[in-house]
Structure 1
């Protein structure tokens, strides 16, 4: 294995793994997605290493994920609300993360992917459209539907008025 590729994998895998998890909503699928993208990147490492290899891996993940949508029929899973352990104090941040995770699992894979790319990866609508191989209008539609659905299934995620807006 190329030493530079090994260094890249060691340094960037945690961040890439988080993105893969957000795309799939499942730890095992996220590992598979990341491994697939890294394998593709390794095959093209000589060409990719001098540019932006992380962008190449992310694009490979997005494309692989889209490919998975097209191959399998998506069925919605309804899961029981997580039951916390008796006693103990949990921070608001942890509760918010759990709520967000559960809500993201209830979105379609396309909706979840658009939200991850737009708001976690901070890509523009045009960049998301290019990464997913669809139109900007499709990205807007999936994003709008996803946010509307999140508001319905997880109202605790809706922004509270900020201090600036109440002044």
Structure 2
């Protein structure tokens, strides 16, 4: 079995159910449309097998599936795509928030260890600059500088993922 087949099998085992539920809400409960979108999403994952890891593919899969639904509405000439922020059905399990959190976590992992440590201390542990400097064993000016560059790198990474707008 090649890497692509193994990846799709693992993605299918891990993501088919949650992905189908997400797409089902987007297509108004049409099970056949939802299944078609999930199948196309997995096909595209197979085409990108070298870029994906099954445990971290969730944000990529959900984004592809959402884009496929939007493209389907546009192809049919349905006029307004009912997937803007004001038109999305309420999602009890907050899938969009989870996706955004995954994307932020991925962007954080891409930072250098020093930059990530500063962001974690300041924004996740809610320490002051002086407290973060003491914990990290660096001067306050270094914490401020690292924070500046880390936030710029995070912003750029999130813009690339479509989480924020330029």
- TM-score bucket of the superposed structures, by smaller chain: 0.3 to 0.5
Q: Which TM-score applies when normalising by structure 2?
A: 0.48
Q: Which TM-score applies when normalising by structure 1?
A: 0.47
Q: Which has the larger radius of gyration?
A: 2
Kindly indicate whether structure 1 or structure 2 has the higher relative contact order, using CA contacts under 8 Å at least 6 residues apart.
Answer: 1
